[in-house]
Amino acid sequence: MVPITDIYQSRVDNDTAILLRQDPIVYSGSRFKVAPGLSQHQLRGYRKNGFILLEGFLPEYEVEIYLKEAQCMAADPQIRAREEAIAEPGSDAVRSVFRVHRLNDRFERLSRDARLVNIARQILGSEVYIHQSRVNLKPGFVGEKFYWHSDFETWHVEDGMPRMRAVSCTILLTENNEHNGPLMLVAGSHRHYVSCVGATPEDHYRQSLKKQEYGIADPVALEFLIERGGIQSMKGPAGSVVFFDCNTMHGSNSNISPYPRSNLFLVYNSVDNALTAPRSGLKPRPEFIATRSDFSPIVPLEPEFPGIGITVQPKS
């Protein structure tokens, strides 16, 4: 019997396991508590559920600009030829574009926007940097599902992220509704870690970013989590923002409606949780999926579009 040295061991056994989370959800004692962010009530909801939906957080005119920017990127032959652009399985439509906070100036500024960074700092109780960014376009008719998974499981095994101290910020660039495959989150699932079955193949990301087959949760574990907390769909108008814990179980259905479901993801990680070597001797994934070259803290930027954006209060 090999002693367990990794508290979040996964993909080393033929069996699944449900382990208790060993890390805080909201990190306290931080000086960032004082920056404008979530109310105490909202923070309690985040701690309990593992996510919070802020309906209409960004004004419509602002988010229209981001949507156009994302669509232009997906249509640009130079972007489409890059490794950051991932095609839908069985189609040449663009499924995701990664590293958008480096490929595009507007997204770079948005990733440093004080309205978002203050919330990420408040939750993580430290300075933060961008671990990963991407746009998931989920085009009408051909946008395929994302099967149930915890991002942390992948980031821990494949990127060597030590602990659960990262938060995903999702900005709805189009309306997300019951027809176009909204993000589905399992409430309370962030309190359990599902250790997954099967060894990770070499260069797994080439396959997994189209269709994930390793690091997905076992049906028995999913039933356990879903029966306890239930599934909640993150439906809302464009401009709504979701913050969800790195270990919250999530997925989404395919989009057979004619309308795209396009969302921007910015993953904030604590500077105190910088990446180490991947588990099981895997080689590090490329920089466009997992920042490894620079863990320096983000200097927050006052919003580019002053006025409406900064005065919009998140709904509880």
Residues paired with residue 167 on neighbouring β-strands, in sequence order: 245, 268
Q: Does 149 bind ligand 6CS (CB under 6 A)?
A: yes
- Residues comprising the chain, all counted: 316
Angle at 239 between CA 235 and CA 241, to 5 degrees: 65
Nearest CB to ligand 6CS, comparing residues 282 and 289: 289
Nearest CB to Fe ion, comparing residues 69 and 153: 153
Nearest CB to ligand 6CS, comparing residues 114 and 194: 194
Supply the DSSP string of 92-104, one letter for each residue. Answer: -SEEEEE-HHHH-
Q: Does 154 bind ligand 6CS (CB under 6 A)?
A: yes
Give the count of residues interacting with ligand 6CS (CB under 6 A).
10
Nearest CB to ligand 6CS, comparing residues 150 and 174: 150
**Residue 281: count of CB within 10 angstroms of its CB:** 6
Q: Does 175 bind Fe ion (CB under 5 A)?
A: no
Q: Are 88 and 144 in contact (CB under 8 A)?
A: yes
Token pair recorded at residue 125:
């109780």
**Minimum separation from the CB atom of position 169 to Fe ion (A):** 13
For Fe ion, what does the binding mask look like between residues 129 and 168, x meaning CB under 5 A? ----------------------x-----------------
Nearest CB to ligand 6CS, comparing residues 53 and 97: 97
CA distance 199 to 34: 44
Q: Does 176 bind ligand 6CS (CB under 6 A)?
A: no
Q: Are 186 and 249 in contact (CB under 8 A)?
A: yes
CA distance 234 to 243: 11
Contact positions vs ligand 6CS (CB under 6 A): 132, 134, 146, 149, 151, 154, 205, 208, 212, 289
Contact positions vs Fe ion (CB under 5 A): 151
